[in-house]
Structure 1
């Protein structure tokens, strides 16, 4: 009896299942044109397709989105995979069969269950799909970074030697040009200051008074004064109407190597081996500020009208920008690895350059932002000069001279100084340089006790005198 009951129960279950299948086929058969194995195929394929879509849909869609952007194709997603979390948590979400009907086709016995239109998902769930949100959030990070473009250098006429002036008995260490551009003065290791006519190169005057080498000169643009400093710790003010010393500025504890006049204030700044820069009142001779902070000799100094008004370069391989009103450091630039022996201000831009044996560096005021390197002068750079035509000159200890295009950093000409007859080859060093007020003449002070004047070749053209070939490099970038 028990076996018969079990058989009847199993027959009842089979009949119920078959009735259910027949009912399902009657309801959905006309829509999908099913095959005899429809129920089995629908269950397996639907389960597999929806599992792929729900579990890996966001990853697949993000990958496709990135690939489209990289190929430069359309960036807006027309379709996105269904949001599994929204479907699972939303009671109004459609069933699997409804999603299959939304997609809309069967291929043979295999259900095609793929992507659902994003707009329908947003209407069903009342929120954007996860893939859509991910695509929007990652769009900003997919924007291609714009690299700095290499600036093509401007053609400049080559420079050539115009005149050699002799007269000093020691190394010529400093030079400055009178504001009227009629004469210039030089100081040398023979303890004298000589004034030369710029047009003819003839000697006009010799000033004596220092008891050691003269290391710095500055001609005032607003007074008939000439300021000088030297290795004898002295800072002197010369009256050019009487050619005599009228003021001394006492305070430095060792040799004074650099000197600069403020363009608008009656202030004089000097610096030297005592590792400080001193600010003097020109008339009262009072030491207004002592700019302390460097750890070694201050070898170069420039001043300007705007903040930072004083810039110093030291043998401790740092450059400091100073607040003249407070007498404190604004910024310390530590990019150099070697002694900073030269500084130069651009006459028109709010920028400057610093020279060392490792590199010549380009900086931007007022915060001292690093702009780039001038690479290629492999020597100890003693002097830098910049003219209004965006030409920078650098002179080194071994007599090598480089001319640079300021905008691009391209070295367009390189020369070697020729020593005077009777001098040693080792006496080819260049200690100081300056352009005249027009920027058309370059004056250099050299170790062979001579002063050389260079000018641009007036007959040169880009065809007859091409510059050193320029090859763009990724190493130099403009920031």
Structure 2
């Protein structure tokens, strides 16, 4: 008599809710290098872009007009963070520097020294005056904004730390590394609370949901969704088969992922279904290898998406209501 194999029933995901389609609204040019980082101000009136041309540009969000160019870094500007409580912009770069710009004076007012190599990621804590940076020296560092002192050096990754995420709940810091791991940290003790090893390839990007204690991680093999604070794996987002450089999620439960080949995928956060596929068109004169999407962020309303790309442009995408067929 043959033995019958039984399998555990899969957890049923919620049905995908309808979403509007997204279309390209505007292309902004001005940088002379790959656009590696983006950050939108809390007022939703302007945003900042950082580039391989070593500059930071401040743009008017409604019109796309260039307002200001900040110079001072001597390497590619890899990460930007705008403070919601102070008139400060933080930038990190391949030149190992972490700079705090006073946007009322348009100059650098603080430096944070400590990283031994290029700095790839930066995040501000939502409730505490803490700055978190991470980079090629395989560490993340937690800084006191005012004293410029390093509170913790978070070591444990074996390779470059490519992304960092902060959260109000514990663990309050999440890091992702080229060693294919994600680490959850206790910000008070400065110690690892959990190591997530589900990815098999380098984890390049993280994004937290704006209202839930959940986040998504992007790598070459998959997009994966997790629950905080314990780091429980929830589900995969399957189908974006390229190196994923950037992910963003808005209040309307739209997740977007940007790939190394210029592809954009739009996903329903709850069900994990892909509801739209787009390919960004490189600007005339660009090389084929400059099609990559390196950075993305939604504006504060979640109705516009900004992407920073290898063709040196910033593209603005907008939600478009699709009329039903008659």
Same fold (TM over 0.5): yes
Q: Secondary structure at the match of 1:154?
A: coil
TM-score under structure 2 length normalisation: 0.96
The alpha-carbon distance between structure 1 residues 275 and 147, as it changes in their structure 2 partners (threshold 3 A), is closer
The alpha-carbon distance between structure 1 residues 192 and 153, as it changes in their structure 2 partners (threshold 3 A), is same
Aligned position for 2:323: 461
Aligned position for 1:305: 168
Task: Tell me, in whole angstroms, the C-alpha distance in 1 between the residues paired with 2:324 and 2:221.
Answer: 31
Aligned position for 1:80: none
Task: Map Cα deviations across residues 364-413 of structure 1 (whole Å, 9 max, x no partner).
Answer: 11110111100000000000000000000000100011000000000010
Q: After TM superposition, give the deviation of residue 148 of structure 1 in Å.
A: 2.6
Aligned position for 1:166: 29
Residue pairs, 1:324-335, within 5 angstroms = 324-335=187-198
Aligned position for 2:290: 427
Task: Map Cα deviations across residues 416-446 of structure 1 (whole Å, 9 max, x no partner).
Answer: 1100011122211000000000000000000
Aligned position for 1:177: 40
The alpha-carbon distance between structure 1 residues 333 and 421, as it changes in their structure 2 partners (threshold 3 A), is same
The alpha-carbon distance between structure 1 residues 463 and 354, as it changes in their structure 2 partners (threshold 3 A), is farther
Task: Tell me, in whole angstroms, the C-alpha distance in 2 between the residues paired with 1:364 and 1:374.
Answer: 15
Aligned position for 1:345: 208
2:284 aligned with 1:404, yes or no? Answer: no
Task: Map Cα deviations across residues 313-370 of structure 1 (whole Å, 9 max, x no partner).
Answer: 0000000000000000001000000000010000111100000000000101111011
Aligned position for 1:290: 153
Judging by fraction of residues, say which structure has more strand.
2
Aligned position for 2:244: 381
Question: Is 2:13–2:270's contact at 8 Å kept on the other side of the alignment?
Answer: no
Task: Tell me, in whole angstroms, the C-alpha distance in 1 between the residues paired with 2:8 and 2:92.
Answer: 52
Q: CA RMSD in A?
A: 1.2
Aligned position for 1:246: 109
Residue pairs, 1:43-442, within 5 angstroms = 148-442=11-305
Aligned position for 2:4: none
Task: Tell me, in whole angstroms, the C-alpha distance in 2 between the residues paired with 1:463 and 1:152.
Answer: 22
Question: Is 1:355–1:381's contact at 8 Å kept on the other side of the alignment?
Answer: yes
The alpha-carbon distance between structure 1 residues 421 and 363, as it changes in their structure 2 partners (threshold 3 A), is same
* Structure 1 unaligned blocks of 5 or more: 1-143, 465-479
Task: Tell me, in whole angstroms, the C-alpha distance in 1 between the residues paired with 2:10 and 2:69.
Answer: 56
Q: Secondary structure at the match of 1:426?
A: helix
Task: Tell me, in whole angstroms, the C-alpha distance in 2 between the residues paired with 1:363 and 1:261.
Answer: 21
Task: Tell me, in whole angstroms, the C-alpha distance in 1 between the residues paired with 2:300 and 2:35.
Answer: 21
Q: After TM superposition, give the deviation of residue 191 of structure 1 in Å.
A: 0.5
Larger Cα-atom Rg: 1
Q: Secondary structure at the match of 1:288?
A: strand
Q: After TM superposition, give the deviation of residue 306 of structure 1 in Å.
A: 1.4
Structure of higher RCO (CA pairs closer than 8 Å, 6+ residues apart): 2
Q: Secondary structure at the match of 1:311?
A: strand
Q: After TM superposition, give the deviation of residue 146 of structure 1 in Å.
A: 6.4
Question: Is 2:29–2:312's contact at 8 Å kept on the other side of the alignment?
Answer: yes
Q: Secondary structure at the match of 2:148?
A: coil
Stretches (4+) displaced over 2 A: 144-151, 461-464
Question: Is 2:123–2:166's contact at 8 Å kept on the other side of the alignment?
Answer: yes
Return the match for 2:312 from 420, 430, 449. 449
Task: Map Cα deviations across residues 421-479 of structure 1 (whole Å, 9 max, x no partner).
Answer: 11122211000000000000000000000000000113x13548xxxxxxxxxxxxxxx
The alpha-carbon distance between structure 1 residues 152 and 206, as it changes in their structure 2 partners (threshold 3 A), is same
The alpha-carbon distance between structure 1 residues 425 and 145, as it changes in their structure 2 partners (threshold 3 A), is closer
Question: Is 1:157–1:461's contact at 8 Å kept on the other side of the alignment?
Answer: no
TM-score under structure 1 length normalisation: 0.66
Q: After TM superposition, give the deviation of residue 152 of structure 1 in Å.
A: 1.6
